[in-house]
Amino acid sequence: MLYSWLTVVLCLSLKWVSCYEVSNLTFPDSFLFGSATSAYQIEGAWNESGKGISRWDYITHSMKIVLDGSNGDVACDSYHKYKDDIAILKELGVNYYRFSIAWTRILPDGFTNDINQDGVDYYNNLIDGLIEAEIQPWVTMYHWDIPQVLNYIGDFNNPNTSDYMVYYADTLFSLFGDRVKTWITINEPITFCAHYPLGSLALGAVLPPGITEYLCGHNVLRAHAKIYDLYQRKYKESQSGRISIALSAEYAEPATDSAADLEASERKLLFDFGWFAYPLVYGNYPSVMIDTIRNLSSLQGYPFSRLPTFTLEERLLLKGAYDFIALNHYTTSLTADASADVKSPNFLNDALVNQYKDSSWETSSASWLTVYPEGFRKLLVYIKKTYNNPEIVITENGYADDPGVLNDEGRINYIKSYLSQLLKAIYEDGVNVTAYTAWSLMDNFEWYNGFTVRFGLYNVDFDSPNKTRTAKESASYYRNIIETRCLVDVCEE
């Protein structure tokens, strides 16, 4: 009764075309809640205290591609205001904070011959402050802000970058691994390898499409596997942490019930999530990727497959190189078969699908982000089934709205409806989801969208010198979920 009343009120107040079912199940006792940010999006202090230049410093200063012409020079000024960040995390009551380390703050030139003590001090202070507040530090090593010097030599298209990242990771383990027990090596490789080909943009050159996406992905996987292996050999015994790589996946909802569209949906999930997850779980790319790209390459006149192959040694290193599946999920697209239509070589065309949005899905302030909570549950069930029922940690999930919205009902509805589907996946489908990370703790620099769209639970006043953080309604709602472990007023015991 209470729940139906709530639903009706929410539906009317925002004129939603569809209303979402809200679960009254209780989160398991061991379930963890957190929130996340990344270094370039919040830290600012881009040229202070010995920090080197990252790709995003370079992009925002040298190229006019950010929507509002902004940059992350100051952003939330978390380099100076990390105590404010810890205070709001404490207010939220989260179990952990997922943040990233800026490679160029630790290694200004990208390499370990120069370690910047000010950068080390900054992260030590942040980590110690979190631990003192009883918040676990979860660290992402690389969240898109690669040292510009490595971008100049080809980024992850250069196999040596994998090795350089291993040295960086080794440095982080030895500096912070006594206190950091959850590591994410790399965030969303599909985004920087295939969706935002920033390597090519920053170099001012057009790299060959259909080639570099796979080279980049290949070297990302090699880097991850080597870092995982290094940790097992050198640190696991003394530090006993766990490691994964954060993979983003949309759900690919079949556009119709036809066999061709069902197959297209499977194929797209294997191209997107499977590109990285399959090698980690099974030691190689999904055979549908191997076969499809080989056939397409041949049709397109290449004497080799555009998808590289792993050596046997690499396959052995890859297989099992994860302690849990780290999933970033936001949205779903309808997926239709397009296998009759061979287009020009590039990652998006290679999956031989057409994707679009259902017009009935609620939209957000980010064009790519439409609201379809059922897709979240379907994706979780798909991952359970396809990847041997792994432990799944949601490392990102969140909603985009406009600047200045403090009464953010759209975000509350999103969190409520997505977490409802997550609870169903746990209790009705037996999916082993153990943690949920709300993206993002606070409004921040949203890459190409600059400051035009907002993902924060906390509003940041970017005009104020203090970059004042103010709780939105969604922050209170999230805090209440964490406190009660329940999405509604009364939950099932």
Ligand X SMILES: *[C@@H]1O[C@H](CO)[C@@H](O)[C@H](O)[C@H]1NC(C)=O
Residue among 112, 125, 160, 407 that touches ligand X (CB under 6 A):
160
Told to check if 292 binds ligand X by CB under 6 A, we report yes
* Interface with ligand X in residues 361-400 (CB under 6 A): 391
Known catalytic residue at 188: yes
Q: Note the helical H segments in 352-449.
A: 373-386, 409-427
Of the candidates 56, 52, 24, 158, the residue with the CA atom closest to the CA atom of residue 113: 52
Taking the least distance from each CB to ligand X, the nearer of 69 and 360 is 69
Segment interacting with ligand X (CB under 6 A) among 157-165, 181-189, 192-200, 356-364: 157-165
Q: How far is the CB of 45 from ligand X (least distance, A)?
A: 9
User: What's phi and psi for 11, nearest 5 deg?
Assistant: -65, -45
Told to check if 480 binds ligand X by CB under 6 A, we report no
* Interface with ligand X in residues 162-201 (CB under 6 A): 163
Residue among 4, 13, 18, 47 that touches ligand X (CB under 6 A):
47
Q: Number of residues in contact with ligand X, rule: CB under 6 A?
A: 16
Cβ-closest residue to ligand X?
163
Cα torsion for 350, 351, 352, 357, to the nearest 10°? -120
Place of tokens 């050596």: 311
Place of tokens 């080597």: 226
Taking the least distance from each CB to ligand X, the nearer of 27 and 455 is 27
Q: How far is the CB of 271 from ligand X (least distance, A)?
A: 12
Stretch 60-89: interaction string toward ligand X, x if CB under 6 A: -------------x----------------
Taking the least distance from each CB to ligand X, the nearer of 159 and 209 is 159
Under DSSP, is residue 54 helix (H, G, I), strand (E, B) or coil? strand
Told to check if 295 binds ligand X by CB under 6 A, we report yes
Stretch 23-42: interaction string toward ligand X, x if CB under 6 A: -x------------------
Told to check if 466 binds ligand X by CB under 6 A, we report yes
List % helix, strand, coil for the chain (3-state, nearest 5).
Answer: 45, 15, 40
CA distance linking residue 248 with residue 281, whole number of Å: 16
Of the candidates 444, 438, 383, the residue with the CA atom closest to the CA atom of residue 414: 438
Under DSSP, is residue 330 helix (H, G, I), strand (E, B) or coil? coil
CA distance linking residue 271 with residue 346, whole number of Å: 12
DSSP state of 393: E
Question: Within its chain, how far is the Cα of 95 from the centroid?
Answer: 19
Q: How far is the CB of 137 from ligand X (least distance, A)?
A: 20
Angle at 470 between CA 7 and CA 420, to 5 degrees: 30
CA distance linking residue 485 with residue 336, whole number of Å: 38
Catalytic residue chosen out of the listed positions 253, 314, 362, 396: 396
Catalytic residue chosen out of the listed positions 188, 213, 250, 362: 188
Under DSSP, is residue 460 helix (H, G, I), strand (E, B) or coil? strand
Taking the least distance from each CB to ligand X, the nearer of 30 and 360 is 30
Stretch 418-437: interaction string toward ligand X, x if CB under 6 A: --------------x-x---
DSSP state of 186: E
Question: Within its chain, how far is the Cα of 191 from the centroid?
Answer: 9
Determine the length of the chain.
Answer: 493
The 10 Å Cβ neighbour count of residue 238 is 10
Q: How far is the CB of 366 from ligand X (least distance, A)?
A: 27
Known catalytic residue at 396: yes
Told to check if 484 binds ligand X by CB under 6 A, we report no
Active site (catalytic) residues = 188, 396
Q: Which residues bind ligand X (CB under 6 A)?
A: 24, 47, 73, 159-160, 163, 291-292, 295, 391, 432, 434, 466, 468, 490, 492
